[in-house]
Amino acid sequence: MLRLILLLLAAATVAAQAQSVAIIAVGADPGQLNPAISTAGPAHTVADTIFSGLVTLDEDGTARPDLARSWAATDGPAGPGTIWRFALDPSARWHDGTPFSSADVVYTFTEVLFRYHARARAGLAPAVAAIEAPDPHTVVFRLSRPNPAFLAQLDVTEAPILPQHLYAGTDPRTNPVNGAPIGTGPFRFVAHRHDDRVVLERVSGHGFDRLLFRIIADPTLQAAALLRGEVDYLARVALKDAARLAAMPDVTLHRVRGGPGGSNCVMTLAFNMDRVALPLRRALALAVDREAMLHRFAYGQGGVSWGLLSSGLGDFPIQAVIPAADRVPEAPPRLDIVAFASFRRWVEALQADFARIGITARSRLLDPAATAEAVFARRDFDLSVISYCHGPDPEIGARRLFDSAAIGVPFGNAAGFHAPEVDALLAEASASPEHAERVAAWRDIQARALAELPYWPLVEVDLLVAWRNTASGWAPWSGRFADRARPAGAAPRQDR
């Protein structure tokens, strides 16, 4: 009997060892794991692999099937291409075994994304007149106007689909399922040890059997762990470590415009317009040494922000210029800067810059969930440092900064900027099928915003990821970046 037990234990050990595990370093604990209520990067880096969108996006932005197997656009009362019909995957199931259906799509968009996801609420909701589910495997979007960015707004980062049977009738922001999510993606949730790790297990496709996300706050320690072979993938490389990693023959360093959380990201100083007056906002903006930030924290990789919109948005941005002040206006005894703990060095640089003009700022560095609560829900801050990702089109990520409908939405309109004429211009820009008209409207939006200065752009930071060459198939431009990843030499996956 003892021999039999030992043989069984040995067999179990061999089976466990046969599982392939990819270890991914992330810089902050994701907190809750519902990507439909937040645009925070740490949450999406982990949760986008658990969930699915209607489509996935290739590196060039081409839409491919995910939960939707096919789609077609037809003309409608609101104009050309304003009725979109999606045929859903009839074989898709939630990780608890419940069949996926069109009811999940309708619920997620109308009850969650259009209320709590900053980019979907500001950039997509105004363009959607109705969402219908004529049968369990078909969903129809009726747009209120043409939307050239529509398909790009339906991937798992911009529109992750939630299980209606677990969320309906609850507050999706506090539902306990957020801590142990049930998705339809290629990996299911296994465990989350706060500030240590999140473990996922593959349920479909081919590649790594497990993903282990290690929480390593210090980027330099992340790079060291990669070089020692203790982790396989860095979701974001500190720019000071880029040259060292690029020189290693067994490491691939890859530059992308986006990834989980968004694309065309800009480190931004946000002002609480209810607490910081315009003359002081201008003085604080002018005091910031953005060139020093570029070289100290971005190591010259990227650039000083040229405008309120990312330079990656082509001809939409205009240069951000503000008038010089004759004197520093009176300030409160102390200003509060609230930001992610991972942005400590940026905040310390701002404190030093402000001190040079006689203004004291106190830092309150929090985890992503607490930052969202303080800045966006309670609006208990004077200044914040936010990495705003502007998307491949201003409708996807930039609109939320200026749209009054995005005030109070996590990672939406942090400044509380509200201008009816800007809201009207946003509607005009999103409704026009003509690129030149959209560019003109967006340039007017930026000019009006600069007059009020709700934000001051700091640095456009290049997004670098890295992986050991013991694995391949990573897709760093996508929220589902590990979907096709596999040990080097393994066959690529063939199915969704």
Q: 18-51 pLDDT, tens per residue?
A: 689 999 999 989 999 999 998 888 899 999 999 9
- The pLDDT value given to residue 258: 65
Q: 122-159 pLDDT, tens per residue?
A: 889 989 999 999 999 999 999 998 888 899 899 999 99
The span from the CA of 226 to the CA of 286, in Å, is 39
Q: Are 454 and 401 contacting, i.e. CB atoms less than 8 angstroms apart? A: yes
Concatenating the DSSP letter of every residue in 279-312 gives HHHHHHHHH--HHHHHHHHSTTSEEE--SSS-GG
Average pLDDT over residues 195-204: 95
Strand segments, DSSP code E, in 238-288 are 251-256, 258-259, 262-263, 265-271
The span from the CA of 465 to the CA of 482, in Å, is 13
CATH number (3.40.462.20, 3.10.105.10, 1.10.15.40, 2.40.420.20) of 262-461 reads 3.10.105.10
- The pLDDT value given to residue 290: 96
- The pLDDT value given to residue 375: 97
The span from the CA of 408 to the CA of 418, in Å, is 12
Average pLDDT over residues 152-169: 96
Q: Is the pLDDT of residue 349 over 60?
A: yes
* Burial of 25 (C-beta count, 10 Å sphere; 0-12/13-18/19+): buried
The span from the CA of 162 to the CA of 440, in Å, is 37
Q: Are 307 and 443 contacting, i.e. CB atoms less than 8 angstroms apart? A: no
- The pLDDT value given to residue 243: 85
Q: 257-273 pLDDT, tens per residue?
A: 666 656 788 999 999 99
Q: Is the pLDDT of residue 198 over 70?
A: yes
Question: May I ask the CATH class of domain 19-31+173-260+463-487?
Answer: alpha beta
**Vertex 271, ends 267 and 275: CA angle to 5°?**
160
Average pLDDT over residues 351-365: 96
Place of tokens 């066959």: 491
Residues 6+ apart with CB under 8 A from 405: 121, 122, 125, 126, 423
Give residue 344's pLDDT band: very low, low, confident or very high (50, 70, 90): very high
- Per-residue tokens: 448: 């009006």
- Per-residue tokens: 394: 């201003």
* CB neighbourhood size of 4 (10 A): 8
The span from the CA of 82 to the CA of 74, in Å, is 6
- The pLDDT value given to residue 14: 40
- The pLDDT value given to residue 6: 36
Q: Is the pLDDT of residue 86 over 80?
A: yes
Q: Is the pLDDT of residue 175 over 80?
A: yes
- The pLDDT value given to residue 304: 93
Averaged confidence pLDDT in the chain:
90
- The pLDDT value given to residue 439: 94
Average pLDDT over residues 157-165: 97
Return the percentage of the chain with pLDDT > 90, whole number.
69
- The pLDDT value given to residue 149: 84
- Where in the sequence of the chain do the CATH 3.10.105.10 domains occur? 262-461
Average pLDDT over residues 184-188: 97
- The pLDDT value given to residue 493: 40
Query: Which of the residue ranges 93-97, 288-292, 324-328, 371-375 would you say has the lowest mean pLDDT?
Result: 324-328
Place of tokens 């399922």: 177
0.85 exceeded by pTM? no
Q: Are 320 and 456 contacting, i.e. CB atoms less than 8 angstroms apart? A: yes
Average pLDDT over residues 60-81: 93
- The pLDDT value given to residue 300: 67
Q: How many Cα neighbours within 13 Å face the side chain of 119?
A: 30
Q: Are 40 and 48 contacting, i.e. CB atoms less than 8 angstroms apart? A: no
Q: Is the pLDDT of residue 107 over 90?
A: yes
- The pLDDT value given to residue 48: 96
Give residue 479's pLDDT band: very low, low, confident or very high (50, 70, 90): confident
Q: 270-329 pLDDT, tens per residue?
A: 999 999 999 999 999 999 999 999 988 876 677 899 899 998 888 999 999 888 876 788
Q: Are 268 and 383 contacting, i.e. CB atoms less than 8 angstroms apart? A: no
The topology (CATH level 3) of 54-166 is Dipeptide-binding Protein; domain 1 (3.90.76)
- The pLDDT value given to residue 496: 36
State the DSSP H helix or E strand holding residue 344, giving kind and residue range, or none if neither. Answer: helix 344-355
* CB neighbourhood size of 366 (10 A): 16
Give residue 434's pLDDT band: very low, low, confident or very high (50, 70, 90): confident
